[in-house]
Structure 1
Amino acid sequence: MLRLLRLPNLALSIALGYAFVSSLWIAFSDDLLKHTVPDIDLLTQLQTIKGWGFVLFSSIILYGIIQAAIRRLNRNHQLLQTIVNSIPDAVFVKDRQGRYLIANARLAYLMNRPPYAILGKSDADFLLPQEANQIEASDQEVFQTGCAAEVEYQLMIQGQPRWFLVSKALCQTPDGHVIGLVSISREITHRKQIQQALENFNQELEAKVQERTQSLLTAQVALQQQEQELRRALAAEQELNELRSRFVSTVSHEFRTPLTVITTATKLLEQFYEQTPIAKRRDYFHKIRQAIQALTQLLDDLLLIGQAEAGRLSFNPAPLDFHRLCQERVESLTVSEPDRTILMTYQGDKVMPLDEKLVDHILTNLLSNALKYSAPDQTVHLFITIHPDQILIQVRDQGIGIAPEEQSRLFESFHRCSNVGKVPGTGLGLSIVKHCVDLHQGTIIVDSTLDQGSTFTVTLPRVQASLTPSPPIIPRS
C-alpha cells in the first residue's frame, strides 16, 4: 500500500476505484444473481459478462500500475544518469570479464566515444595491451580479495600520457551477490606534473646544496691547508728566529773564547815578555795558535754550511789514498790532544775515487765529536771497511750518548743536545757531515744510548773516476 501511495495520482485513483468496484462486484455474487435473475440463460450471460469484465477491468488497472511504475523507474534512471554524468570523474561499472556495464559522460569523453559505444566492451578495445593487462590484473585482485583498492595508472589517452587515480570496490546486491566492479577514476595528471616539478626542483636544490656543500668543504680544506701552511710557516719563522738567536749566541760565544785567550796571552806577553820564562812563552804562543785554529775552523764551518745550504757545495771525486787520509786525520787530532787515544781499524783497498774535501770533513767532525763528548780516559774507535761496491766508515765512542727523542734533530744546523752541558760547540759538525754524505749519495745512521756512548755509521757508494790522484793533505795541526 505504501508503494501505491508513491505512484502518480491517476494510478492511485484507478487502484482505489478498482478496489471499490471489486467490493461491489463481489457483493453481487452468484447467489445474489441467482435470486435476482430467474432466467438461467440471462444468468449465464451475466456471469460471463461479469467474468470478462472483471478480467478486463483488472488488466486495465494492472496496466496503469505498471506504466506508472515504468515512468517512475525511467525518471529515477534519468535522475541517476544525470547525477552520474554530472560527476567530474569517470564513473563506470565492469563485470567479472572486464566488460563495461555502466559508463558516465566523463569516461566517454576520455575514450573519445559515445557511452553506448563503450558498453559491452573491455579495456583491451581502447587501451594499449600493457595498460589493459595492468588494469585487468588490478581488477582481478579486487574480485579475489573483496577489498577496495586505490591504484595509480599512467595511460595513453587521446595521444598523450595521462595519470589517473582509480578507486575500485565490489558492486554487490543486498544479499551479497557480486554484480561487478564499480570504479571512480580521477585524473591526477596535473598533480603528477606538480609532483614531478617538485621532485626535479628538490633534485636540483639537493644538487646545488651538495655542490655548495662540496664547495664549502673544499674551501674549508683549503682554509685548513692554508692554516696549516701558516702554522708551519710561523713555526718555521719561530724556529728560524730561534736558530738566528742560537746562531748569534753560539758564534758569539765560540768567537769570544779564543779571542779572550788571544787577548789575554798577547797582553801577558806584551807586558811581561822579559820576565816570562821561555817555556811559559811557548805555552802562550801555543794557546794563541790553538785559538787562531779554532777561529779559523769556526769560520770554515760557517762558510761550508752556508755553501751547502745554498747548494753551492760540489762533489768532485778523484783517486784518493783514503788509508793515508784516515791516518793523517787521526794523527792530527791526537797531536792536538795528546792525552786522547783513537784506535783505527782499516780493511780493504787503500786508493779509490772520493771527494777528498768532503771525506775529510766527515772524518774530522765525527772524530772531533767523539773526542769532545767522551771522557779523556775513554778510547775512540774508527773502523774503515772497504767493500767492492761501498765504503763503510764507523766511529764509536763511550761518551755521554744521545737521548732517543733528540736523535731525529741531530743533523740540523746549530742544534745541540740537552745533555752537552758546558762542552763548547757550534752544532754545525753533524750538519756538515750530513751534507757531505748526501753529496756522495750515501747514508748516515746513529746508534746511541745515554751514558753509554754513540756509534755513527756512514755508508758511501764507490764511484769510478779516471782522474789524477789528489795532492797530499797538509795536517791541520
Structure 2
Amino acid sequence: MAQEQGFAEMISKIAHELRSPLTSVKGFSATLVKRWDSFTDEQRKQFVETIHQDSLRMARVIAEVVDLARIESGRLELNHAEVHLHSLCERAVKNVEALAGSERVVIEVDQDICVWGDLQRLEHVVSNLIENAVKFSDEGSISVSAQAHPDDTVEFRVSDQGVGIDPERLDSVFDGPGERAGRATPSGTGLGLYLSKRLVEAHYGTISAASEKGAGSSFTVVLPAVKGAT
C-alpha cells in the first residue's frame, strides 16, 4: 500500500513540475501563431526565448526522472571528470533564470575550485538547490558559495533568506515518495531534493539542510575534490 501511495505521489509531483513550463510553452506559442504580425521582432524574440527556457526546464525534469528510475534500479552510471564549480554554478543559474527572483542569486565560488564528478548530474543537484532557494525566498540575496578543505573535499552551500523550514519537517526534506507516503509532507517538497541526495551519495558525498523558521535555509553538499586542486 505504501509503495502504491509513493508511486502515485511521484506521478503527481512529476505532473506538477511539468505543468507550469508546459502551460507557458503552450500559451506563448499559441499567441505567436495567432498574432505573429502584431508583435515586433524584439517581442517575438522574447517570446521564443521564454519558450526555449521552459522547454529546457521540461527536458531537465524528464532527465531527472530517468535518473531517478536508474538509481532505484541500481543502473545509474556516472561519467567522472574534473568539474569546475564556478562554471557549474553559472550553468545552474542559467537553468533557472526564467524564474522570478533568479537575479538575486550571487555566486561566491573561486574560479579554481574543482570537484570530481559527473557534470550533468551535479548540474542537476546545484540547479535543484538554487531553484528551491529562489522559489521559497521572496526577497534577499541567495548565496552560492564553496570552500576547499585540506582533506580533499569541497564544501558547497546554497543559502537563502526565505521563510525557512519547520524544525519538525527538516529531517524529512530529502525523503523519497515511499518514505513520505501516509504522512503529511512539507508544501513544495518534491522529487528534486530526494534525487539530489541520491546523486550526491552516488558521488560518495553528503548533503544536509539547516534552517531557522523565518530566517532562511541553507543546503550544504560535500564532494570529493580533484586531488591537487585544493
Shorter chain as denominator, the TM-score bin is: 0.7 to 0.9
> Structure 1 residues 354 and 297, CA, compared in 2 at 3 Å: closer, same or farther?
closer
* Contact 2:86-2:107 within 8 A present in 1 as well: no
Q: How many residues align?
A: 221
Q: Partner residue of 1:245? A: 8
- Structure showing greater radius of gyration is 1
Shift of 1:270: 2.1
The one-letter code sitting in structure 2 at the alignment partner of 1:357 is Q
Task: Describe how 1:196-207 pairs up with structure 2 within 5 A.
Answer: none
The one-letter code sitting in structure 2 at the alignment partner of 1:382 is V
Give the 3-state SS of the residue equivalent to 1:286 in structure 2. Answer: helix
TM-score by length of 1: 0.42
Q: Partner residue of 1:346? A: 109
The structure 1 segments of at least 4 consecutive aligned residues displaced by more than 6 Å after TM superposition are none
Q: Partner residue of 2:75? A: 312
Q: Partner residue of 1:364? A: 127
Task: Describe how 1:368-379 pairs up with structure 2 within 5 A.
Answer: 368-375=131-138, 377-379=139-141
> Structure 1 residues 263 and 322, CA, compared in 2 at 3 Å: closer, same or farther?
closer
In structure 1, distance between residues paired with 2:55 and 2:34: 21
* Contact 2:173-2:186 within 8 A present in 1 as well: no
In structure 2, distance between residues paired with 1:327 and 1:288: 20
Task: Describe how 1:38-437 pairs up with structure 2 within 5 A.
Answer: 237=1, 239-330=2-93, 332-333=94-95, 335-337=97-99, 339=101, 340-346=103-109, 349-375=112-138, 377-389=139-151, 390-414=153-177, 417-420=185-188, 427-437=190-200
In structure 2, distance between residues paired with 1:406 and 1:380: 22
RMSD of aligned alpha carbons: 2.8
Which consecutive residues of structure 2, in runs of 5 or more, have no partner in the other structure?
none
Shift of 1:392: 0.6
Map Cα deviations across residues 120-159 of structure 1 (whole Å, 9 max, x no partner): xxxxxxxxxxxxxxxxxxxxxxxxxxxxxxxxxxxxxxxx
Shift of 1:397: 0.7
Which consecutive residues of structure 1, in runs of 5 or more, have no partner in the other structure?
1-236, 421-425, 466-477
TM-score by length of 2: 0.81
* Contact 1:447-1:455 within 8 A present in 2 as well: yes
In structure 2, distance between residues paired with 1:313 and 1:439: 9
The one-letter code sitting in structure 1 at the alignment partner of 2:144 is L
Shift of 1:370: 1.0
In structure 2, distance between residues paired with 1:257 and 1:328: 21
Give the 3-state SS of the residue equivalent to 1:409 in structure 2. Answer: coil
In structure 2, distance between residues paired with 1:361 and 1:329: 8
Q: Which has the higher helix share?
A: 1
